[in-house]
Structure 1
Amino acid sequence: MTTALVTGATAGIGREFAVQLATRGDDLVLVARDVARLEALADELRAAHGVEVEVLPADLSDREQTARVAERVASNERPVDVLVNNAGYSLKKRFLDNDVADEEALFDVLARAVLVLSHAAGNTMRSRGRGAIVNVSSVASFMTSGTYSATKSFVTVFTEGLAAELRGTGVTATALCPGFTRTEFHERADVDMSRLPDLAWLDAPRVVRDALADVDRGKVVSVPGRRYKVAVAALRLLPRPLVRAQSRSAHRPSAD
């Protein structure tokens, strides 16, 4: 029986990962800050799919709580076979207009927690000779829109390096880079996305289905949706001054 640990599991892409992993019969460890929502989701998945669901409340901007999650990831007695680092959020204002403590908390959730939990998972999974690490990044990681974009760039490049380090061990690492996805993400960040055309949106079930298929294939960078595959290919080829010009007017990226 496979066990998957999902951070940021109560909403959006994280919740969809939990649902689809449970649907295929995986037991779950669900991590998020909101205990009530965690418990409600756990009850729902147990009832619908007959899987075991462990609830692990944690705020990944708190280093002690992150360490507790890392200990669970590294457990040999109750092994985690799939790690999904999904927890994340965004700040509405530009970097210099935010309090630096808020920026540090954002960095801890988006980047440091990914590093710490991937280290715990990578070592434990490598010793067992199997496992998968999925780090949810963003199309924004190929852009230059503030600290959200910068931390997601870290996640993508970090995962590429981790995948190379794990090659031949039976463990895979995949950076999932979705574009605009219909979730609570923008609403919770108080961002008006009403002018974005319907064509630009992905739905969370499609994003996760594509991601899990890419993980099964051992793909290192997963970009769901043909239009976003084309966009990422273009962003990788464009001169950086042009990429910066495209991003200049944005307060921060909002692709997730």
Structure 2
Amino acid sequence: MTAGPTGYGAAMTTALITGATAGIGAAFARRLASDGHALVLVARQSPRLDETARRLREEFGVDVEALPADLAGEEGIAAVEARLADREAPVDLLVNNAGFGQRGGFLKVPVEDELAMLRVHVEAVLRLTSAAAVSMRERGRGGIVNVASVAAFFARGTYGASKAWVVSFSRGVAQDLAGSGVRITAVCPGFTRTEFHERAGMDVSGVGRPLWLSAQEVVDTALRDVARGRVVSIPGWQYRTLVGLGRLTPSRLAERISSRSGRKYRD
């Protein structure tokens, strides 16, 4: 797959983005629409989803399909799987971005909420990646971006564990799809200026300005790394440094540092 002006492949024409109405997902939608690509936007909130699709159509003159789906439920996952399997309207880039955080540590969050997180962060990512990869491999081209987090590299409850799974899964699938023309990248942002922390009820007032990324920076880095064939993408020099140092830090000390930081990592 040759790199094109959009940075991830000239042949790609349609992108499906989950969690597309806010934050990093919305930034992916705007970037891809501005590059002239058709979109399939997936989100839970239908009115907001419809409005987002309308604005992108009007501003960029591209085709935008709105697909309401709750990925914490079987019906929602199945609906997106079916769209990805539609060979009459193939998807060339899948962005698995949908996700959320929890307020409070383990045993302070209801088990059903933790299970819902695993449904969105793990089961949905696995199933949608599978549905997309089958069609992409048949055509010999395509890309999959799985939005993880720097929390994947540190011990931090269910959220960090689910994102660590995303990174490990993406690495394994990339090996299995090597030579097929299908690229897969796990993007691992740190603190990013979006609605994520407010919606999760997280206090991030103590996070210094140098640690903040823009959603656009995350998207640009992710698409550039897909084009370069990188399986793991870490936006921001500060987070590449943090993850690099974390690998050299004794695990017990790294866990203590992570614990003190609280649930302040983001999607």
TM-score range for the pair, normalised by the shorter chain length: over 0.9
Whether 2:189 is the aligned partner of 1:178: answer yes
Q: Percent identity?
A: 53
Q: Aligned AA for 1:140?
A: A
1:134 to 145, 166, 181: 145
How far did residue 244 of structure 1 move?
1.2
CA, structure 1 residues 210+27, in 2 after alignment: closer, same or farther (shift >3 Å)?
same
How far did residue 97 of structure 1 move?
1.5
How far did residue 95 of structure 1 move?
1.8
Structural mapping, 1:1-256, within 5 Å: 2-256=13-267
What secondary structure does 1:249 align onto?
Answer: helix
What secondary structure does 2:94 align onto?
Answer: strand
What secondary structure does 1:244 align onto?
Answer: helix
Q: Distance in 1 between matches of 2:248 and 2:178?
A: 26
* TM-score scaled by length of structure 1: 0.97
Q: Distance in 2 between matches of 1:253 and 1:223?
A: 17
What secondary structure does 1:140 align onto?
Answer: helix
How far did residue 62 of structure 1 move?
0.1
What secondary structure does 1:95 align onto?
Answer: coil
Structure 1 contact 3–81 (Cα < 8 Å) conserved: yes
Count of residues in Structure 1 that have an aligned counterpart in Structure 2:
256
Instruction: Provide the alpha-carbon RMSD of the alignment.
Output: 1.1
How far did residue 248 of structure 1 move?
2.5
What secondary structure does 2:179 align onto?
Answer: coil
Q: Distance in 1 between matches of 2:239 and 2:261?
A: 18
How far did residue 252 of structure 1 move?
2.6
How far did residue 253 of structure 1 move?
4.1
Q: For structure 2, list consecutive stretches of 5 or more residues without a partner in the other structure.
A: 1-11
How far did residue 125 of structure 1 move?
0.6
Q: Aligned AA for 2:55?
A: E
Q: For structure 1, list consecutive stretches of 5 or more residues without a partner in the other structure.
A: none
How far did residue 106 of structure 1 move?
0.8
Q: Aligned AA for 2:68?
A: P
Structure 2 contact 56–64 (Cα < 8 Å) conserved: yes
